[in-house]
Amino acid sequence: MEFRDKIAVVTGASRGIGAATARAFAQQGGIVFANYPDHDADQHREMIHAWVSDAELDAERVIPIAADVSDAIRVQAMYAEIGDRCGRVDILINNAGINRDHTVIKMTDDEWRQVLAVNLDGTFFNCRAALPLLSDGGRIVNISSVVAHTGNMGVANYAASKAGILGLTKTLALELAGRNITVNAVCPGFVNTEMAQTVPPDILERLRQRVPLKRLADVEEVVACTLFLASAAASYVTGHSLNVNGGMHMM
C-alpha cells in the first residue's frame, strides 16, 4: 500500500475534496489527521465519523482534529498535539477553503479578508507549523484552483487567495529542496462536490459548457492527482501546479 503508516494531515477534511483525500490516504494505509473547523465543530466531526463509517475504515487510522486554519495559535496547537501523538508528519495537504462571491464593487472588506484568511493565511500557517515535524523527503500539496490562472467574474477574493497559494508553493519548494521535501499545487476546475449541487441547474449547465470535456470533474479525479504528488512516484516534481480542469486552462 502506497502510504502504509505515513502520517498525513488533511485540512478541511469533513466533506468534499478534503474528505475524499483523507479517505484515500487511509484506504492506502496512511494514518490521517482529518482537520475540521472550530465553528460548528460537532457537525463537522460527525461528518468525518460518517465517511469513516461508510468507507468501513479502521477508526484508529483517521483522527479528527479541530482547528480554524485562519487562527495561527489554533494551528500551532494542532501540530503540537500531532507531535505529541506521532512525533512527525510525512504529508501535508492544504485543502481548507471558503468562498464569498461578489463583484469587486459589491465585495465587503469582511468578505475579502475572510477568504484570504482561510485560503491563503491558512495554507501559510499550516505549512509553517508543520515544518518542524515534517520528515525529510516529505510532501506538501496545496489545493489551488483554475481561477488562480484565469480569474473569473465575482471571485476576486478567491482568485487572489488561490494565486497567492501558487506563489507560496514555489517559494517553499525552493526553501525545502535541501531537505528533499517537495511542494506542489493542484489546480482543480469545476468539481462535482456538494457545493456544486447547490448551483441552479441552468448556471451549472453553463459552467459545463465552458469546459472542453463538457463535464465537471469527479472528486476522485482531483484526489488521484493529489495522491500522485504525495507519492514516491512524484519524487522529482516540485514547485509545480498540476491543472485538473478538463481543458479550461492549458499551459
Catalytic annotation, residues:
158
SS3 state at 183? strand
Q: CA nearest 66: which of 51, 48, 93, 83?
A: 48
Is 143:186 a contact under the CB 8 Å cutoff? yes
Are 190 and 222 in contact by the 8 Å Cβ rule? The answer is: no
Secondary structure class of 136 (helix, strand, coil): strand
Give the DSSP letter of residue 58: -
The three cell numbers locating residue 133: 515535524
From the number of C-beta atoms within 10 Å of its C-beta (0-12, 13-18, 19+), residue 39 rates as exposed
Asked whether 137 and 86 are in contact (CB, 8 A), the reply is no
Torsion of CA 237, 242, 246, 251, to 10 degrees: -90
Q: Which residues touch 231 (CB under 8 Å, ≥6 apart)? A: 2, 3, 139
Helix axes 156-176, 122-130, angle to 10 degrees: 20
